[in-house]
Structure 1
Amino acid sequence: MSTSDATPDPYADPIAFGQRVKILRSRRGMTRDQLGGLMGKSGSWVRAIEEGRLKVPRLEVVLRMAETLRVRDLADLTGDQSVHVDLFTGPGHPRLAAVQAAVNAFPLTEQRQAPPAEHLRARLARAWSARHSAPNHRDVIGALLPELIRDAQLSVRQADSPADMRAAQAALSEVYSLAQFFVAYQPDSALLWRVAERGMVAAQHSADPHALGVAAWLMAQAHRDSGPGHFDAADTINLETLAYLEPLLPDASDDVLAIAGALQFEAGYTAARRGDTGTAWRYWDTARAVAARLPETYYHPVTSFSRAIIGAHAVTIAVELHAGGESVRQSAAADATTIPSRPRRARHRIEEARGYQLDGQPDVALATLAQAHEAAPETIKYNGYAKRIVLEETQAKSPARRRRASELAVKLGLLAA
C-alpha cells in the first residue's frame, strides 16, 4: 500500500485541528452524532469542526473533546507540540519497566522451587490490602508485582495434580488482575491487553467461578474504555459471565456473589456510556439488590463491591449520563467516608467533582478534587477527568478559582511549580 492510501497519522504535523478530530473519532469507533451527543452538541457541529467551517473551540470545549475521545496527550488533538499534557495515559510510573519485564519474560528453564500455594495466596492478600490502604498504592503494588508474577507462573509450571493446576491458575489469574490495576493509564496499551488476556486465559483454565468473574470484569472494562466501537464486546463478556454465574448464586460464597454484583454494575456503566438511561439504572438497581445480600462489613478485595460502594456507583451512573443535578443529588446521598479503599474513595471524589462541574459548581468541584488528592495522590494523577477539570479552571475568570486550580495543577504535575 502506498503512503498516500494509508490512514493519516494525527500525530504527524501539519494536520488541521478538524482533521485530527475526524481521525481520532474514527479510531475510537464513534460517529459524529455519538461524539456530539457526549459533548452536548450535535453531529452537524462535529462535522463543521472536522471540515474547518468552525474555528478551533475554546479551551473548555477542547478539553471536553479530549476527555470524550480519551486522547493520550492533549497535543495529539491540538497539534501544538510545544505543550504536552498527559490525560488518559500517565507519564509512565518508575516501576513500569520492572513490571513490563516480568510480564514479558518466558522463563522455561528456571530451576528454583515454586513457593507453597498458601504462601502465594497470603502475599496476594497482603498486596490487595496494601493497594486499598496506601496513598501511593501504584508504587506499592508495582514493587510487589514482579516477584508475584514470576512465582505465580512458576507455580503453574510445577503443579503436580489437576487440582493443584487449577488452584495455581486461579492464583495466576488474580496476579494478572492486580497487574491490570497497575498498568491501567500507563503508556503501554499493548501491555494492558496482554495482561487482561492472560488473566482471562488463566481463569478459564482454573474453572474457578470467582477467578472467571474477576477476569471478565476487568476485560469488560478494557473494552469499554476503548470507546463506543468496543461497547458490544464489553457487554458480551459481561452478560455471558453473568449467565454462567447465575445458577451458582443461590448458594454462592460472598466473593462470588460480589463479583456478580460488580458485573451487574459494569453492565449499567456501559449502558450509561451509551446514554441509555433506563438500562443503566435498571442494572444499578439489580446490583444494589445483590449488595443487600452481602454482610454489612463485607468489601470485595478486587472490585470494592459492597453495600458501601452502591452510593458511589449511583454517582458514576449519573455522571456518565451527563445528568449534573442527579449527580449532585446522588453525591449527597452517598457517604464517601464509608469506602475503606483509599484509591476507590479518591475515584469517588473525582466522580463527585465531575458531577459538580456538570451542575455548574466549579468551586465545589475543585474542593472535591483536593479531597481526592488527599485520599490517594496516585489515583488523581492518572485520571483524565480530573485533569480536564483542573486545566479548565486554570483559565477561569475568577482569580481565586484560577489560583486554587493552578495550585492543584502543580500537585498533579500539569504545571511547573
Structure 2
Amino acid sequence: MSEDVTPDPYADPLRFGQRTQILRERRGMTQAQLADLVGISPHTLRKIENGQQKSPGLDMVMRIAEALRVRDLADLTGRLDARVDLFVGPGHPRLGAVKAAVDSFPLTSNVDPPPIAHLEARLHAAWRERHASRNHREAIGRLLPDLIRDAQALVRHADSAAERRRAQALLAETYSLSQFFIAYQPDSSLLWRVAERGMVAAQESEDPHTIGVASWLLAQAHRDSGQRHFDAADAVNREAVGFLNPLLPDAGDDVLAIAGALEFELGYTAARRRETGTAWRHWEKAREMAERLPPDYFHPVTSFSRAVMGAHAVTVAVELHQGGESVRQAARADQSVIKSRPRRARHRIEEARGYQLDNQPDTALASLEKAFEAAPETIRYNGYARVILLEEVESTRAPRRRRAADLAARIGILAA
C-alpha cells in the first residue's frame, strides 16, 4: 500500500488507535474536539491514537463510538466477532414496501385519487395511531404505502392551483410521517430522499405550518448526519424561524408550536457543539413559546407542548454532558405527562443517558425498562440505549449484568 493512501478501517487489520484516528478524521473532528466529547485530555487521546497507550476499556470504547457515530462496533474495534449496529437499528419488515412506495413515480396511473378530506382524515388517524401505539413503526408502516400512493395521485390530478397546493401540503405531511418510520433504519439515502421531497412539496404548498414541519425534519436529518453537518442544520432552522417569526403575533397554535420546535432544535444543535449558554438560551425561548399554547395542546408531528419542555431540558443537559443537571431536570420532567408513547420512550432513554453520566447505572437501566414498556420499537432502534445496555452487560456486578442482558435480549440486540 502506498504511504499516501489512507488505510480503510473497514478492510485493513488496524489497531484500535488507528481506527479511531481515521474515523475521527472522516468526521472532520480534531483531536481536541473528540477528547472533549468523551471526557479525556487531547494528550491522552493522542497517545491512544498513536498506540502509546493500550486500548481503553469498554466504557471509553462506547463513548468514542457514540461521539464518532460509529454504526457498527466492529468498525472501531476491528473485532468481526463483535458486530453490533449501534446507531442504525435492524431493517423493519415493512421497510421494503415503504421504500418501493417512495421510489415509485408512475408516469401514467389508473389510481383514482381520494377526496382531499378523505386523505386528511387518514393522515390524522395515522398520526394518532403513531402516538398511541407501543409498536409505532409497525402501525404506520402498514399505512404508509397506500398513503404515499394516494398523496402522489392527488398532486398529479389536481384541477386547480389551489387544489394542487392543498395536495402538496398533504404529500409533504405524508413524507413527514414516512421520515419517522425510516429514521435509524439501514437506508440513509432513503431518509434523505424523503426529507428533501418533503421540503419541496412543502414549499409548493405555500403553507407556513407545512414548511415549518418539513424544515424541522430536514434540519434533524442534517444534524444526525454528524458534526460536519451542524452548520447545515442551523441554516435550515434559522431560515424557517426567520420565515415564521413575522407570522407569530397572529398565528394559530400549530404555527406557534412548530416555531417553538424549531427554536428548540437550534438549542439542541448548540448543545451538541457544547455551547452551553446558547443551548439554554434557545431552550428558554422555546419554553416561553410553549407557555403561549393551551395547557393540553400537543403538536401532532413534533410533540411540542408545555409538557415536553421538561424532556427537552433533559436532552440539553445530556448533550452538554451535565450529568447532575440532567438528573435534576429528569426529576422535574416527571411532573408532566407526555401524551405520545414513542416520545415518552425517547424521554426515558434521554433520562437513562443522564443517569449514566451521573454514575447511576442501575437507575439508568430502570429508565430503559420504562422506555421499553412505553414503546419497544423506540428503544429497539435507538443507538444511545444500545450503548448503555452493551456497556452494562459487561458489568462486574452480576445482578446488573443479568438485568441488562435480559432487557437487551427482549430488545433483540444480543441475538447476533
TM-score band (shorter)? over 0.9
**Aligned-partner Cα distance in 1 for 2:87–2:80:** 17
The corresponding residue for 1:289 is 288
Distance in 2 (CA, whole Å) between partners of 1:215 and 1:367 is: 35
Give the aligned partner of residue 407 of structure 2.
Answer: 408
Structure 2 counterparts to residues 89-128 of structure 1, below 5 A: 89-128=88-127
Aligned to 1:189: 188
2:245 aligns to what? 246
Distance in 2 between residues matched to 1:313 and 1:135, nearest whole Å? 21
The two structures, once aligned, show a CA RMSD in angstroms of: 1.5
Would you say the 8 A contact 2:209–2:255 is kept in 1? yes
Counterpart in the other structure of 1:67: 66
- Find the counterpart in structure 2 of residue 39 from structure 1: 38
Indicate conservation of the 8 Å contact 1:324/1:358, yes or no.
Answer: yes
Within a 5 Å distance, the mapping from 1:273-352 to structure 2 comes to 273-335=272-334, 338-352=337-351
In 2, the alpha carbon distance for the partners of 1:336 and 1:28 equals 39
Aligned residue for 2:353?
Answer: 354
Q: Residue 86 of structure 2 aligns with which residue?
A: 87
Give yes or no for contact 1:30–1:227 (8 Å, CA) kept in 2: no
One-letter amino acid of the counterpart of residue 291, structure 1:
A
Q: Which runs of 4+ in 1 moved over 3 A?
A: 2-8
Query: How far apart are 1:22 and its partner, in Å?
Result: 1.8
Contact in 2 for aligned 1:115/1:155 (Cα 8 Å): yes
Measured in 2, the distance between the counterparts of 1:99 and 1:22 equals 37
Question: Please, which runs of 5 or more residues in structure 2 have no aligned partner?
Answer: none
Q: In structure 2, what is the equivalent of residue 140 of structure 1? A: 139
1:49 is paired with a residue whose SS is: helix
**Distance between the aligned counterparts of 2:324 and 2:409, measured in 1?**
30
Q: For the residues of structure 2 that align with 1:150 and 1:101, how far apart are their CA atoms?
A: 10
Match of 2:380 in 1: 381
Q: Does the CA contact (< 8 Å) of 1:217 and 1:262 recur in 2?
A: yes
For residues 192-237 of structure 1, what are the alpha-carbon distances to aligned partners after superposition, in whole Å with 9 as ceiling and x for unaligned? Answer: 1111110111111111101110011011111111111111111111
Report sequence identity in percent: 68
1:3 Cα deviation (Å)? 8.6
1:77 maps to a residue whose letter is: L
- The corresponding residue for 1:50 is 49
Unpaired stretches in structure 1, ≥5 consecutive residues: none
Aligned match of 1:369: 368
Structure 1-normalised TM-score?
A: 0.97
Paired residue total: 416
Deviations 1:22-72 (A, max 9, x none): 222122222211111111112232222222222211111111111111111
The aligned residue for residue 22 of structure 1 is: 21
1:378 and 1:43 map into 2 onto residues whose CA distance is 37
Q: Closer, same or farther in 2 for the Cα pair 1:182/1:8, shift >3 Å?
A: farther
Partner of 2:12: 13
The residue identity in structure 1 corresponding to 2:228 is: G
8 Å CA contact retained: 1:336, 1:345: no
Separation in structure 2 between the aligned mates of residue 287 and residue 189 of structure 1, nearest angstrom: 29
Structure 2: distance between partners of 1:119 and 1:329: 46
User: Which sits farther off after the overlay, 257-266 or 39-48?
Assistant: 39-48
Q: Give 3-state SS (helix, strand or coil) of 2:302's partner.
A: coil
SS in 1 for 2:396: coil
1:234 corresponds in structure 2 to 233
Q: SS in structure 1 opposite 2:395?
A: coil
Q: Distance in 2 between matches of 1:7 and 1:115?
A: 54
Q: Hey, what does 1:204 align to over in structure 2?
A: 203
The letter for the 1-side match of 2:389 is: V
Greater CA drift, 168-177 or 331-340: 331-340
Q: Distance in 2 between matches of 1:209 and 1:126?
A: 22
Distance 1:318 1:255 in 2: 27
Return the alpha-carbon distance in structure 1 between the equivalents of residues 383 and 323 of structure 2: 19
* Residue number in structure 2 paired with 1:222: 221
The 3 A distance-change label for structure 1 pair 4 and 183 is farther
The CA deviation at 1:4 is 7.6
Cα distance in 2 for partners of 1:30, 1:207 equals 38
Q: Deviations over 1:84-112 (max 9, x none)?
A: 11110011111111111111111111122
Quote the offset at 1:336 in angstroms: 6.5
Name the CA distance, whole Å, in 2 between partners of 1:7 and 1:196: 32
User: 1:312·1:336 contact (CA, 8 Å) conserved in 2?
Assistant: no
SS of the residue corresponding to residue 409 of structure 1 reads helix
Decide whether the 8 Å contact of 1:324 with 1:359 is kept in 2: yes
Partner SS, residue 182 of structure 1: helix
Alpha-carbon offset, residue 335 of structure 1: 2.2
309-318 or 108-117, which moves further after superposition? Answer: 108-117
- Kept after mapping to 2: 8 A contact 1:18/1:51: yes
For residues 5-30 of structure 1, give each alpha carbon's deviation from its aligned partner in whole angstroms, at most 9, with x where no partner exists.
66543211322222221222122222
d(CA) in 1 for partners of 2:299, 2:335 = 16
Q: Retained in 1: the 8 A contact 2:71–2:87?
A: yes
The answer for the alignment partner of 1:167 in structure 2 is 166
Q: Distance in 2 between matches of 1:45 and 1:187?
A: 34
- The aligned amino acid for 1:106 is F
Counterpart-to-counterpart distance in 2, 1:168 and 1:293 = 30
Partner SS, residue 10 of structure 1: coil
Give 3-state SS (helix, strand or coil) of 2:81's partner: coil
State yes or no: 1:77 paired with 2:76: yes
1:56 aligned partner, one-letter code = S
Assess if the C-alpha contact under 8 Å between 2:323 and 2:355 holds in 1.
yes
Is the CA contact 1:209–1:245 (under 8 Å) kept in the aligned structure 2?
A: yes
Residue type at the aligned position of 1:398: R
Are 1:28 and 1:226, in contact at CA under 8 Å, matched by a contact in 2? no
Aligned equivalents of 1:46, 1:105: Cα separation in 2 = 47
For residues 265 and 55 of structure 2, what CA distance do their matches in structure 1 show? 35
